[in-house]
């Protein structure tokens, strides 16, 4: 190849133009600003799909904030001492009694003994 001939210059111009086109195609595909031949930027148009996605994103962010508040309330309830004590009492009531000798002396609450 002749490095000083017009073919080499045309090849460099073609490669530069091809790289610029590929760069802009990738940027447009991913929603970035596009460059013009003078280095300026042009913003892509806001399509209806983008507006719809932004509205849906705002709704989801609001829902996430609400769920976070509910989660904080539930955590406060569960870490409350009275709640834990109540759960422990209920768990003791649910234990099966297998050995009657370990249950202690039964109290006869219906009769009052005179001393």
Mean pLDDT value of segment 82-111: 68
Q: Compute CA 94 distance to the chain's CA centroid, rounded to the nearest angstrom.
A: 38
pTM here?
Answer: 0.35
Cα–Cα distances in Å, from 45 out to 28, 55, 104? Answer: 10, 17, 81
Q: Is the pLDDT of residue 99 over 60?
A: no
pLDDT tens string 35-51: 666 666 666 666 678 88
* Sequence-distant (≥ 6) Cβ neighbours of residue 37 within 8 angstroms: 20
Q: Is the pLDDT of residue 52 over 70?
A: yes
Looking at residue 32, its pLDDT comes to 76
Give the residue, 19 or 94, on which the prediction is more confident.
19
- 101: its two tokens: 């000798």
Mean pLDDT value of segment 8-28: 89
Cβ-based burial of 114 (10 A; exposed 0-12, middle 13-18, buried ≥19) = exposed
């Amino acid at each position: 190849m002749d490095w000083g001939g017009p073919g080499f210059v045309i090849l460099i111009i073609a490669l530069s133009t091809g790289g610029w086109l590929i760069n802009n195609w990738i940027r447009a595909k991913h929603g970035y600003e596009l460059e013009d031949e003078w280095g300026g930027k042009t913003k892509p148009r806001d399509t209806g799909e983008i507006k719809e996605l932004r509205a849906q994103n705002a709704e989801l962010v609001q829902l996430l904030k609400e769920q976070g508040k509910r989660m904080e309330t539930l955590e406060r309830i569960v870490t409350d001492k009275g709640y834990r004590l109540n759960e422990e009492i209920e768990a003791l009531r649910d234990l099966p009694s297998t050995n009657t000798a370990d249950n202690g002396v039964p109290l006869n609450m219906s009769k009052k003994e005179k001393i």
